Amino acid sequence: MNQPARPTNVPPPTKHQLALMIWVAVVPTLIGLNLLLDDALADLSTAPRTFVLATIAVPIVIYGLMPRLHRLRARLVARA
């Protein structure tokens, strides 16, 4: 199988780009988890609920979404 060519010499994201990428990954993830787990977490107070949501959201964002966003950004930067 042929894999698409990877852009080379793409600089790392700026602080502002990274902040936007994190926001784009985190906000929909937290909204989705809140909607999905609302009934299951209804009896928890704010702190334990936040702990559970963060424990689920962080791996999704770091291992699932951020690598995809970095690849997308690299393709966009390479095109420019």
Tens-place pLDDT, residues 17-57: 999 999 999 999 999 999 999 999 999 999 999 999 999 99
Asked whether residue 2 carries a pLDDT value surpassing 80, the answer given is no
Asked whether residue 15 carries a pLDDT value surpassing 60, the answer given is yes
Asked whether residue 62 carries a pLDDT value surpassing 90, the answer given is yes
Contacts of 58 (CB under 8 A, 6+ apart): none
pLDDT of residue 43: 97
DSSP state of 13: P
pLDDT of residue 6: 59
